[in-house]
Amino acid sequence: MAFELVSTPLLSLPAEAVVNRANSGLQYSSGLCGRIFDAAGKLPLQRACVSIGSCKVGNAVATDGFDLKAKYIIHAVPPRWCGGKHGEDQLLAGCYNAALELARKLGVRSVAFPLLSQGLCGYPSDRGLKVAKETILSSPLQKEMQVYLTVSDT
């Protein structure tokens, strides 16, 4: 398939799965996560997340997309930036790989990612983008599906 770096808002992309920049408790929060919850239907999505429980940093879990155009929401938990000497890049790459693997297991042919390192994670923008692109492009799974990476945080 293909990889596209775009500036289109995440929820406007034509993908079967969208990736949420989630917290480990899978709870509603501000920013992009809150917009995803609001658009999907806050209460049913929160119930689905509560039934999962939690997700460790560097990993991902999935829920239905509820009221979104996307069939699924993949909740990936990125690390916070702590100066780059605490395995942040590896954990961030793990988020992208876990989300791609989950998309494959769900059988989707398209997935849309935000920059997982953006926002409260505090990553330097260029470094987070570099990790995202390198991880996605080096994954054999990106050849099986359309992968969007948006640099827009709306």
**Tens-digit pLDDT profile for residues 59-74:** 999 999 999 999 999 9
23-32 long-range contacts (CB < 8 A, ≥24 apart) are: 23/77, 24/54, 24/55, 24/56, 24/57, 24/77, 25/54, 26/50, 26/52, 26/53, 26/54, 26/55, 26/61, 26/75, 31/119, 31/120, 31/153, 32/114, 32/119, 32/153, 32/154
- Rounded to two decimals, the pTM is 0.96
Can you tell me the mean pLDDT for 42-63? Answer: 98
Q: What is the mean pLDDT of the chain?
A: 94
- 14 burial (CB, 10 Å; 0-12 / 13-18 / 19+) is exposed
CATH topology of domain 3-150: Leucine Aminopeptidase, subunit E; domain 1 (3.40.220)
H/E run at residue 61: strand 60-64
Confidence of residue 1 (pLDDT cuts 50, 70, 90): low
Question: Looking at residue 136, what is its pLDDT?
Answer: 96
For 5-41, how does the pLDDT look when each residue is reduced to its tens digit (9 = 90+)?
999 999 999 999 999 999 999 999 989 999 999 999 9
Question: Tokens 């494959």 belong to which residue?
Answer: 104
Share of the chain residues as helix, strand and coil, in percent rounded to the nearest 5? 40, 20, 40
Can you tell me the mean pLDDT for 133-138? Answer: 96
Confidence of residue 116 (pLDDT cuts 50, 70, 90): very high
For 56-110, how does the pLDDT look when each residue is reduced to its tens digit (9 = 90+)?
999 999 999 999 999 999 999 999 998 888 999 999 999 999 999 999 999 999 9
